Each structure stands twice: as structure tokens, then as C-alpha cells.
Structure 1
């Protein structure tokens, strides 16, 4: 049985991933009374499309995930 929740965009902005410009979108996903934050980075590098995607349950975890993304190196 499939369940559907509600997805809404919280914030959109331009960011850098390893020196490459990326579109960053934060979403809120609500399902069965629970709220989740989903963060995505969309970018292109050397003709390939990439998405960095993570889901957290707490706003404070975003800082931890963002510090990990800052360590990524392309090339």
C-alpha cells in the first residue's frame, strides 16, 4: 500500500559545490504527522548531471550534512 505525503519547497538558492555553481532546494515532507527536511543540490559538471540529496529529521543536522558536502572535490 502506497502512502502519499505533502511536499513543499521551503527555500531555493544558488550555492557552490566544490567550486561549481549549484541550485540548492530545501523541502519539507510531511507524512502521517511527521515532518522531514529534504535538501538537494542540483548541478552539472563536465556534461554530467549530479544531485546531492539528503534527508534529516532535525534542522540542526543540516549543519552536519553541509560540513560533509564542503569536503567534496570534483575532478
Structure 2
């Protein structure tokens, strides 16, 4: 018999979500708001992506985006 209602609990754990994925997903946001705290990134991951991540993972994602931004400036200056 088919039951359309589900009573399964939601899981907010996903091992595939790492700092690189968070950096890719929130790259524009972090570029626009470079002083955003890791706790805010963690909150946005929970609300937008429906996963729970650690603040350390969010810190690494923020660091990755900042390093990428700094690398872009070096490459552009090198072209001059």
C-alpha cells in the first residue's frame, strides 16, 4: 500500500560538504562581506544548504576565498 506521508527524521550531516564546497558556494558572499564571521557562514550553511558544519570548516573556507582573492591581485599585477 502506498503512503504519501513520510515520518523520517531529517539528517543535517553530510560528509561530502567540506571547506572547498563551502568556499565555492559562498565565494561571492564572502567577497562582498570579507569581515563575515565563521559563525555567520555556519548559520547560512544550515539555512541555505541544510547541513551542519563546524566553525573550523567555515574558517578554512573563508581563508580559501581570501587566498584566492589575493592570488588574483598578484596575477593581475604580474600582467602589468
Same fold (TM over 0.5): no
Structure with more relative contact order (C-alpha pairs < 8 Å, separation 6 or more): 2
Higher helix share: 2
Q: TM-score, normalised by structure 1?
A: 0.29
Bigger radius of gyration: 2
